[in-house]
Structure 1
Amino acid sequence: MTSTDSARFTRSELISAFATFEETVAHAAETRDWDPWVEQYSPDVLYIEHAAGTMRGREAVRTWIWKTMTSFPGSYMTAFPALWSVADEATGRIICELDNPMRDPGDGSIISATNISIITYAGDGLWCRQEDVYNPLRFVSATMKWCRKAAELGTLTDEAAAWMTQYGGGR
């Protein structure tokens, strides 16, 4: 897709498509069924996730998201709401900051980290590119904070304890 091609979408269409994207993400987070989220991408999607690498194609994204969201800490993330977003008609992109809160460790705490996502619209409700930009150390720090809080409260699961040990936090 060239920049001329991407400029074919109106601001209204971009905003509407992103609203549907957000609804689908919210439903996936609630149900833990990631397939509808993956189906929002074109079959030849380019997904750049700086910690996980570059994925080409919907099936590569599907494999990655299922693995990520069914193991700690992804499996403890409860939602992915956009804190803000900008529609860029000239590039056919939505640029947004997504929150990644983890489930309550037992005292009502909300522990999260954020990322910037740049999502390129392909039309017909599909997205052809996504790039997630963030500092992985902030995610490690937030997850470690969650683990320490859960350990303090006696709610640390074996899976979370193993992650904590692997990343230097001990039990």
Structure 2
Amino acid sequence: MEKATVKALLEKYWQAETTVEEERALAAWFSDNPDADPELEPYRALFAYFDEESRISPGEDFEVRILQAITASQPLQPGEPLQPGQPLRPIRHFHGGLIAAAASVCILVIGLFLLRPEPPSPSAVVAKNAIVSTDTPAAALSVAVIKDTYNDPQQALTAIRHALLVASVHLNEGRKQITGK
């Protein structure tokens, strides 16, 4: 192969557009031409490294060592090398933390849903919000008597319109602050 062809294949290689055969041809060219152009010297070292790494194997007893490590029952301390036949058990650091988190969630659920105060009865709400006449005897307060604030319906309508206008003005001011318009 010529230098221009090698450069073109290298360019395709860095763009991840080469085929397996082209990559093998590049590796073979770099291994067969030790006196190649100094410009291509770093690439020769790279392909030599790939070749060396492809020859590394885990060994014949690799599967046995893995199975021994998986089926073991004794914990391996940090930094301690694994000896052949030594059992291995993972150390659980967060076991207590998970129990504490689950207990916290349970207490929160119980506090929110089971220990709620009972809602007041409807008559108590009416009695709280009602204007009770002063001439009502104390024994009759269990049934609230509601007295109107306004005697004239026009005054009541005017007061309602005023309250709605005030609420509308405040809502529009809030909308202006949010939208900026």
Same fold (TM over 0.5): no
Of Structure 1 and Structure 2, the greater strand share is in 1
Higher relative contact order (CA 8 A, sep 6+): 1
Task: Find the structure with the greater CA-based Rg.
Answer: 2
TM (norm. structure 1) is 0.21
**More helix by proportion, 1 or 2?**
2
